[in-house]
Amino acid sequence: MTGGDSPLAPVRAYDGARRRDSNGHGRGTVPSSAADSGVLDMLGGYGGAVPRNPLDEAGRALRQLGERLRETGGPEGEWIAEQLDRLQPEARRRAPAEPERTLEELQAELDALVGLETVKEQVRALVAFLQVQALRKESGLAEVATSQHLVFLGNPGTGKTTVARLLAQMYRSMGLLRRGHLVEVDRAGLVGQWVGSTALKTDRVIRQALDGVLFVDEAYALTPETERLDFGSEAVETLLKRMEDYRHRLVVIVAGYPRLMHRFLASNPGLRSRFAREITFPDYSTDELLAISRGFAAEHEYRLGEGAEATLAAVFDRAERGEGFGNARFARTLFEQALNMHAVRLAAEGLDAPSLDDLRTLAEEDLRAGARALGEEPPPVRAPAGGFFRRRRPS
C-alpha cells in the first residue's frame, strides 16, 4: 500500500500537525497545508475553539476515521477500524433505546394496524406463551426453553419492519430484553469485501443489537444461488454462533420473500433449528390499501375528492399481487405521485388565490395522472347501477 493511498495517511498528517503545534506554533493554530486542514475538518475543527464536550468530539472523530478506514483501507483498515470501535464507550456506540411503553399500549398499536389479522393473532399467541412461561418460572416450575428468533415471510410493504419494532418493545416490556431497540440491516451491512472482514462486520452489527432485536431484511441475499465465491455464508455462520453466545440478550428476525426465504433456511442445517417460528405477512386487499391511502391523506391533511377513491380502488384491483407488488409501499408511491399531479394542476390553474379546499383536495384526475406516472392505466370508473357516468372536468 503506497503512502498516498494509505488509510493511515490522515493519522500521520494529524500527528505531524500536533508535533508542529507543540514545537512553537501555539495550541489552536490551524496548519497551513491542505492535507492538515482536511484532517482537522475530519476531526471536528480542533484547530479553532475548544469544543464544549471533548469526549463527544473525540468519539465523532474516531467514528469518522473508522468509516474512512473501512472504505479505503482493505483488510488492515477494517481491523484498525474495529479496534477504534472498541475504544468508544459502549453507550455512545449504540442506538438510543426506544421510550419505554406498556405492553397494553403496544398491543393496542398492533391492533390498530390495517389488516394483518393472521399476523396479529400469531403475535398475541407468542406474547401469551412468553407471559405464561415467565409466570411458571416465578412459581418455581420448569421453563420450556424455546427459540425466540423469528422468520417473517412476505412481500415488500406488508408491515414486517413495523411489527418487528413493536415486538422488540414488547419483549422489553415483558423483561425479556433490557433495551428493546431494533437494529435493521441487510446483506451490505453484514458482508465485507475481503477475506476475514465479514466476521468483523457482522460482529459489529450484533454488538449494536445486543439487548434488542436484530432485523435482517432480505436475508436470502446472504446465500445467493450462484456458485461464485461469496462471503455471505461467513456472515450466516457468525450470526448462528452469536445467536447461541448471546441467546439471552439477542433476538434475531430474518425477513424476505417466502420462496427465497425457504431456500435460505435450507442452505444451512443450523438455520432451521434456530428459527423455529415463522409468521407469514399476506398481501393487502384492495379495501385494506384504500384504508392505508386514507391514512396517508389524513396524516398530511389532504382529502380524497369525488371519484378519487373509486379510481384508487380500480388501480389496486388491477395490480397483480406477487413478489413484484409493493403493497403499502405501492400505495404510498401512488399517493406521492398524486400530490405531484395535484400541485401541477393547481399551478396550471393559477396560484393567485387557491381556496383551502383546493389546497387539500386530491381530485380524481390527480390520482389518474399519478397512476399513469407509475405505468398504471386505471379503467373508467362506472357509476352505480341506474346512475350516470360522472362527467370529468375539462383539463
Q: What is the pLDDT of residues 2-49, one digit of tens each?
A: 444 554 554 454 445 444 444 444 444 444 444 444 444 444 444 444
CB 45: neighbour CB atoms within 10 A? 12
- Please tell us whether the domain made up of 286-373 is placed in CATH 1.10.8.60: yes
DSSP letters, 86-134, are HHS-HHHHSPPPPPP--HHHHHHHHHHSSS-HHHHHHHHHHHHHHHHHH
Distance set, CA 324 to CA 116, 234, 254 (Å): 19, 29, 19
Torsion of CA 68, 74, 77, 78, to 10 degrees: 90
Among the residues of 230-363, which ranges form H helices? 232-245, 258-266, 269-274, 286-299, 308-318, 328-349, 356-360
CB contact set of 217 (below 8 Å; sequence gap of 6+): 160, 161, 184, 185, 186, 255, 256
Q: What is the pLDDT of residues 165-187, one digit of tens each?
A: 999 999 999 999 999 999 999 99
C-alpha cell at 310: 373509486
Report the CATH architecture of 103-182+203-228+238-281: 3-Layer(aba) Sandwich (3.40)
> Tens-digit pLDDT profile for the chain (395 aa)?
444 455 455 445 444 544 444 444 444 444 444 444 444 444 444 444 444 667 667 777 777 777 666 556 655 666 676 676 666 654 444 445 556 889 999 999 999 999 999 999 999 999 999 999 889 988 999 878 778 899 999 999 999 999 999 999 999 999 999 999 999 999 999 998 887 788 989 999 999 999 999 999 999 999 988 766 778 889 999 999 999 999 889 999 999 999 999 999 999 888 988 897 999 999 999 999 999 999 999 999 999 999 999 999 999 998 888 888 999 999 999 999 999 999 999 999 887 888 999 999 999 999 999 999 988 887 775 555 444 334 343 43
Sheet containing strand 182-185, edge to edge, reads: 182-185, 212-217, 250-256, 150-154, 277-281
Q: Quick check: helix, strand or coil at residue 304?
A: strand
pLDDT, residue 391, reads 39
The model's pTM is 0.72
Cβ atoms of residues 326 and 157 within 8 Å: yes
- Tell me how far apart the alpha carbons of residues 178 and 180 are, in angstroms, rounded to a whole number: 6
Distance set, CA 30 to CA 59, 68, 216 (Å): 21, 22, 44
Specify the DSSP class assigned to residue 25.
I
- Tell me how far apart the alpha carbons of residues 330 and 337 are, in angstroms, rounded to a whole number: 11
Closest CA relative to residue 224, chosen from 232, 213, 216, 214: 232
CB contact set of 51 (below 8 Å; sequence gap of 6+): 44, 45, 57
Torsion of CA 204, 205, 211, 215, to 10 degrees: -170
CB 384: neighbour CB atoms within 10 A? 6
Residue 42 amino acid letter: M
CB contact set of 90 (below 8 Å; sequence gap of 6+): none
C-alpha cell at 151: 422468520
Q: Is 319 left (phi over 0), alpha (psi -120 to 50) or beta?
A: beta
- Tell me how far apart the alpha carbons of residues 257 and 265 are, in angstroms, rounded to a whole number: 12
- For the chain, which residues make up each domain, given as ranges? 9-93, 103-182+203-228+238-281, 286-373
Closest CA relative to residue 246, chosen from 210, 212, 279: 210
What is the distance between the terminal CA atoms of the chain, rounded to a whole angstrom?
A: 64
Q: Is 227 left (phi over 0), alpha (psi -120 to 50) or beta?
A: alpha
